[in-house]
Structure 1
Amino acid sequence: MLETYELLVIILLASFILLIFTGYPIAWVLAGVSFWFVVIAIYGSEYADLDTYLLTSWARFSVIVDRIWSQMQNSVLVALPMFVFMGLMLDRSGVADRLMQSFTRLFGSLQGGLAIAVCCIGILLAASTGIVGASVVLLATLSMPLMLAYSYSKRLAAGVIAASGTLGILIPPSIMLVIMADQLAMSVGDLFMGAMIPGLLLGVLYMLYVIVVTHLFPGMGPPPADAPPMTARIVLDALLSMAAPAALILAVLGTIFFGIATATEASGVGAFGAMLLAAWNRRLDWRCIKDVSYETAATTAFIMAIFLGASAFALVMRNLGGDEFIAHMLRSLPFGPEGIIIVILGIAFVAGFFLDWLEISLIFLPLVAPVVKALGFDPVWFVVVFAVMLQTSFLTPPVGFSLFYLKGVVPKEVSTRDIYLGILPFVAIQLLCVFLVFEFPELALWLPREVYGGAAR
């Protein structure tokens, strides 16, 4: 029979999940639920034996102020607005336009070549922007009309754009990995390098799927009749178009990987480099700086508001004994250690249908990470596997944000049904990548170990 505090933990979690569907902002839901359960704790402790677990006074709850102050002083989180600024500025720099033109000429004569070009550009944007919404909108604006004009399958076009645009949340520099590193007190550099190979692998799997499906069903991605043959000049133009984003990637990731700069310092280098690229392409003016700054402030404020709400929620959850309850539930499962990891990943996958990656990273991940560490798994490996799984949250309805971004900019002939059916194969590919990283831990551990001498699983 469940004890009183265990029932309260379950009711707390259930209340949060149910209130999400009311449409209120997640930050206010988290803070509001936390507040009311503190009220229950304070005024309910005199009627039940709850003092061991609950916050029994407002003074004890006031520790949240210290937690908020600690977050505001956290130098790692300074990287968030800088990476957001870098991504938004790069989207306005004109680099993606040139990439699309050169890659279309490079791959246009191949079966499914335009979709392959989208995957390649998605990888480059991911390694230089990391802003999913901006990447999806940009890829859709540049490539969707072109693919439809050349009689590409609407479902294939929608799926490859939505999936390629989400790579930025996994391939470094990734905002998600910065937040995960902060929540679990881990090295950002270790997570960046641990996610590099799985992120690139996911992009390659997308391209392999496009190649296979367009050769099995040529009508899904026919080559344009007027596409020029591949020449040395076209290849050279494609390489030159990659030079600017490659230099920015090297400036940001290279300085982190080789120990020249921290992630926070590298984010500043990236923001400045994106401004230089915009200036080089004559896209930088005061209006551009103003718009990018406003969007950066709004995005950062949104993230930090959820941080504050999640801090309050985590404080109440821990004082209710939520950590012990969840650890006990996981350890009591009739599976071995790897079976418990599979259950955790399964819960994350299901949660991705209803929650954004940010809420899952801030609430669920810190609760299960101690259990995973106690089971003897390498934390870098687990976080990378978990991050790959969270890729699905962008594509799974009803809360898949990439689907909303895409629907907002595609032509009217591309229906919601086309988008939903188009992403199904790519969700399956994401799950395949999770399986590969799960079964072959070296995909996540080899690069951090070679560079930093990290521990293997």
Structure 2
Amino acid sequence: MFIEYMLPILMVVCLLIGIFTGYPVAFVLGGLSIIFSLVADVPLPYLGIMGSRIFGGVVENWLYIAIPLFVFMGLMLEKSGVASRLLLTLQRLFGQVRGGLAISVALLGVVMAASTGIVGASVVMLGMLALPVMLKQNYKEEMALGVVAASGTLGILIPPSIMLVLMGSIMQVSVGDLFKAALIPGLMLGVLYIAFLLFMGWLKPEWMPLADPDDLDADTTPLPLALLRDLVGPVFLMVAVLGSIMMGIATPTEAAAIGALGAIFLAIFASKLDYATLRDVCYDTSKSTAMIVFIVVAATAFSLIFKKLGGDYLIMDIVDSIGLGPYGLLLSIMLMIFVLGFFLEWIEISYVVLPLLLPVISLLDFGMSTQATLVWFAILMAINLQTSFLTPPFGYALFYLKGVTDSSVKITTIYRSIIPYVLLQVTGLVLCIVFPAIVLWLPGLL
């Protein structure tokens, strides 16, 4: 089998080597596509198909319009100060609960995840807002760092999620169905985080001291009015975006436009919308969108050449040789994706691995329809890929967090801080595998 599939195996090996060199992933994917098409003497007409696939399948895909709109919405909310005010209000609400500030960070992570969907912005925002306050309050470093990193990654799973938009396009599955299916698992992870924080507050109270009452009284606005002022805006935006999709009123692209417009109104309401803010948001939106689209285009070319060289048959032969049942194969795939998450970003895994696994997954019998199987598998993979933001050595959330801490915080401390949350996410993944209704109940209901 090695001789027959030497070129696709070599292609994967070169991809891993290229990524470890630190060279931009998009250039690695695109460059390997060109090199191996020349080495394998791929006919020119087939390369023409590649061009058609890129322009027809990626550039002209209307679903991708949602990406810059969701990115714009998240960045505008970050710049408007909505999150900072909400954190202070939640801290007042949970101020006399052991670990109350950490619980406030987890709740803010859930609220902002449902409003932004951008991991980098969420981690940086939570790190800059909450981390200095927790350390000043004498939180144990690992407790403070871990909850910030983990809560910031919820945005990649809880809809509206850019990951789910891209997965829907790759798998030809309704993005609305994926949004419905991801909502309960995403909230479940948030509940697991909060339960863990409450348990640690009881077990190790010295790790999470209570807040100083003087700090909680800095805002003289009555707590109910403060909650109404700071929570209604993000929640209304979340309901407008997700509700319009789930009720079939708007497509994901249209809902993204609603979200972007709503974020502008929230910024106006907070008196934070000026030319400088709008310029920075548009600039960062352009950079993020260009990076995503560049990787998508390069990954499309890589997958096409990989299949031309027999990579899809290589995958099928490996599956046949393993001889496991449907659940055994599913667990093997989840383990493989978990390991790949240590080294690759979710975009590369989604666009390189997912197209190769789809034919295999669609043929497996889990006692449900093919469409339900694909939705279920997509959410399992999304939960798994969320973990990739936290797993060293290349967990991006860890590097985002290190970037907003001072030199006294060591990267090894950050690595230790996320271990409980990785275990919690694996627990959530196992629960969704054992009980598929966690994923499929809401899409079936709506």
TM-score by length of 1: 0.93
Match of 1:256 among 195, 220, 245: 245
1:129 aligns with 2:116: yes
The residue that corresponds to 1:163 in the other structure is 150
Aligned structure 1 segments of 4 or more residues deviating by more than 3 angstroms: none
* Range with greater deviation from structure 2 (411-420 or 288-297): 411-420
Choose from 192, 210, 222 the match for 1:205. 192
Assess if the C-alpha contact under 8 Å between 1:155 and 1:421 holds in 2: yes
Q: Which residue of 2 aligns with 1:59?
A: 45
Question: What is the aligned partner in structure 2 of residue 51 from structure 1?
Answer: none
Note if 1:403 corresponds to 2:398: yes
* 5+ residue gaps, structure 2: 367-372
Q: Distance in 2 between matches of 1:37 and 1:417?
A: 39
The 8 Å contact of residues 132 and 168 in structure 1, kept in 2 or not, is answered as yes
The aligned amino acid for 1:36 is I
Deviates more, 1:322-331 or 1:408-417: 408-417
Secondary structure of residue in 2 paired with 1:395: coil
Q: Which residue of 2 aligns with 1:45?
A: none
Q: CA deviation at 1:225?
A: 4.1
Query: Are 1:444 and 2:431 an aligned pair?
Result: no
Cα deviation code 1:220-243 (max 9, x no counterpart): 1111242669x9942452244210
Q: Which residue of 2 aligns with 1:270?
A: 259
Q: Secondary structure at the match of 2:40?
A: helix
Alignment of 1:423-442 (within 5 A): 423-442=418-437
1:293 partner SS: helix
Superposed, 1:84-163 pairs within 5 Å as: 84-163=71-150
Give the Cα–Cα distance (whole angstroms) in 1 for the partners of residues 407 and 310 of structure 2. 51
Instruction: Indicate the residue corresponding to 1:173 in structure 2.
Output: 160
Matches within 5 A, 1:262-341: 262-341=251-330
The 10-residue stretch of structure 1 (57-66 or 274-283) with the greater mean CA deviation from structure 2: 57-66
Residue-by-residue CA offset, 1:169-220 (whole Å, 9 max, x unaligned): 0000000000000011110000000000000000110011111012101111
Distance 2:179 2:166 in 1: 12
After superposition, what is the alpha-carbon deviation per residue over 1:345-390, rounded to whole angstroms, capped at 9, x for unaligned? 0010000010001100111111112211100341111110110011
1:414 to 405, 409, 413: 409
**Structure 1 residue 332: Cα displacement:** 2.3
Q: Which residue of 1 aligns with 2:369?
A: none
Alpha-carbon contact 1:145-1:411 (below 8 Å) kept: no
Preserved contact between residue 331 and residue 340 of structure 1 (Cα < 8 Å): no
Distance 2:133 2:240 in 1: 32
CA distance change for structure 1 residues 95 and 225 in 2, over 3 Å: closer, same or farther?
Answer: closer
SS at match of 1:332: helix
The count of aligned residue pairs is 436
Q: What is residue 6 of structure 2 aligned with on the other side?
A: 7
3-state SS of the aligned residue for 2:418?
helix
Shift, 1:142, TM fit:
0.8
Structure 1 residue 73 displacement after superposition: 1.0
Q: Cα deviations across residues 81-125 of structure 1 (Å, max 9, x unaligned)?
A: 110111111101111011011001111111010000000000000
**Amino acid across the alignment from 2:325:** G
CA distance in 1, matches of 2:187, 2:358: 25
CA contact (8 A) 1:106 1:235 kept: no
Range that drifts further, 163-172 or 358-367: 358-367
Q: CA deviation at 1:323?
A: 1.1
TM-score normalized by the length of structure 2: 0.95
What letter is aligned with 1:10?
A: I
Give the unaligned 5+ runs of structure 1.
43-54, 452-457
* SS in structure 2 of the partner of residue 259 of structure 1: coil
Q: Is the CA contact (8 Å cut-off) linking 2:54 and 2:301 kept in structure 1?
A: no
RMSD: 1.5
CA distance in 1, matches of 2:254, 2:439: 24
CA shift in 2, pair 1:31/1:232, >3 Å: closer
Identity among equivalent positions (%) equals: 47
The CA deviation at 1:412 is 3.3
Rate the CA distance shift 1:239–1:330 in 2: closer, same or farther, 3 A: farther
Alignment-mate amino acid for residue 14 of structure 2: S
Q: Distance in 1 between matches of 2:396 and 2:31?
A: 24
